[in-house]
Amino acid sequence: MPATRAPRVPAEERLFSLVLALLSTESGLTKAEILANVQGYRQRWTAGGDNASLERQFERDKDDVRELGIPLETIETPGAAGNNQTLRYRIPKGEYDLPLDVRFTPDESALLSLAAMAWREGALSTDSRRALLKVRSAGADEGDATTATHPTDIAAYAPRLRARDAAFEPLRSALDRAAAVRFDYITPGEHEPRRRELAPLALVQHGGRWMLAAHEFATGGTKNYLLSRIVGPVSAYEAGRHPAPAGAGERALAELDRVWSERSARIAVVPGSDAERRLQRRRGTEVDSDGVLVLHHVDPQILAEELAAFGPEVRVLEPAALRDRVVARLRGLVADHADHTGDDTAAAGTERTGGARG
């Protein structure tokens, strides 16, 4: 009979259970005690067996906990200095308590948990995850420990919001396995997707959108691919043969920031309009003395789509290529909604709102 696969425990629940366990001990827990007893590890623990992959998971989780700003301490056992197997781990509760004047009712804690469960799979920001872990661990003293570690009572009511594109998980899996990938990708301005074969380097979020930095085999260059433009499934191959170099994510973000700083557009907006309020709040937006907005961007097509959504509230002054993209998108919208006989007058009006007079 084949072995039963251990149920998958979400990373957020595993980290919370680890924090809760380390908060509850004064003397600390050894690695073996953690792996054998804490939710998220114990399901995969084999007494006397090979737990190397689980130990590596714990090492990564330790780093994640510390990156969240949680004070995780290590204590050496007297007479066994330098022995990692006898090291004990703990979180000093006094350094992780909420301020005395901050308390949450059970209902408030449940609502915070529901909000976090909606943004599951790591979509929470670092600050949000740190705050959630602190709130949940602080509330565990007064509530039922089983419920705190296994929040199944409210899970049935939790909304499910996917903050990532469908391609995210298979691409992340390929990165973990050092595999190459192939998928169909629609380049801006083209109507048919083209097959891409790549070695993934990093998944990064820039300007609120997920991108894949990858080495393209066909050209030998490194490019960024917007996940929302990936069409159909992502397939992986040649696992173990394409490891991403260290620091690839940082380099990809630095390059995106460089492109963002170099590309700008001058936009006239209707005073007091929704476009003025929202575009002024974009990162790095500058306002000229005549009220014209200077917007920075990475992808002209993405910016054109965003500007077109504001309709007559926006007029693109420059560059001309961006203005042409906005006009083309608005013309396409008119064509999609026009009568079968056509509507040249509407199309002409659309061109004006797109800023063709700029």
Identify whether residues 59 and 131 lie together within a single domain: yes
Q: Residue 161 domain-assigned?
A: no
Identify whether residues 143 and 21 lie together within a single domain: yes
Residue finishing a domain among 97, 127, 155 = 155
CA angle 347, 352, 355 (to 5 degrees): 130
Identify whether residues 148 and 56 lie together within a single domain: yes
What pLDDT was estimated at residue 65? Answer: 79
Identify whether residues 135 and 92 lie together within a single domain: yes
Q: In the block, which residue shows the tokens 């929302």? A: 228
Residue 176: domain span? 168-255
Residue finishing a domain among 221, 255, 289 = 255
Identify whether residues 29 and 150 lie together within a single domain: yes
What pLDDT was estimated at residue 341? Answer: 47
Identify whether residues 194 and 294 lie together within a single domain: no
What pLDDT was estimated at residue 112? Answer: 61
Tally of CB atoms within 10 A around 236: 19
Overall number of domains in the chain: 3
What pLDDT was estimated at residue 284? Answer: 86
The pairing of strands 88-90 and 29-30 is: antiparallel
Identify whether residues 96 and 190 lie together within a single domain: no
Identify whether residues 278 and 250 lie together within a single domain: no
CA distances from 49 to 32, 36, 45, 252 (A): 12, 12, 8, 40
pLDDT in tens, the chain (358 residues): 445 555 667 777 788 888 888 887 888 888 989 898 888 888 888 888 888 888 888 888 888 777 666 788 888 876 666 666 778 998 887 666 666 666 667 676 666 655 555 544 444 444 445 555 555 554 444 344 333 334 444 344 444 444 457 888 899 889 989 999 999 999 877 778 999 999 999 998 887 788 999 999 999 999 999 998 999 899 999 999 999 998 898 999 999 999 999 999 999 999 988 888 889 888 889 998 888 999 999 989 889 988 998 999 999 999 999 999 999 888 888 887 775 445 444 444 444 445 433 3
Q: Residue 46 domain-assigned?
A: yes
Identify whether residues 119 and 25 lie together within a single domain: yes
Enter the DSSP assignment of 76: P
Q: Residue 210 domain-assigned?
A: yes
| CB burial string 65-87: b at 16+ within 10 A, e below | beebebebeeeeeeeeeeeeebb
Q: Residue 278 domain-assigned?
A: yes
Q: What is the CATH classification number for the domain harbouring 213?
A: 2.30.30
Identify whether residues 27 and 110 lie together within a single domain: yes
Q: Residue 34 domain-assigned?
A: yes
CA neighbor of 134 nearest in space, from 71, 54, 180, 77 = 71
CA neighbor of 18 nearest in space, from 63, 85, 51 = 63
Identify whether residues 17 and 140 lie together within a single domain: yes
Identify whether residues 18 and 117 lie together within a single domain: yes
Q: Residue 6 domain-assigned?
A: no
Residue finishing a domain among 155, 187, 205 = 155
Both structure tokens of 169: 């998980």
CA neighbor of 266 nearest in space, from 279, 247, 254, 249 = 279
What pLDDT was estimated at residue 323? Answer: 94
Q: Residue 205 domain-assigned?
A: yes
What pLDDT was estimated at residue 261? Answer: 92
Q: Residue 315 domain-assigned?
A: yes
- Say if residues 73 and 91 touch (Cβ distance below 8 Å): yes
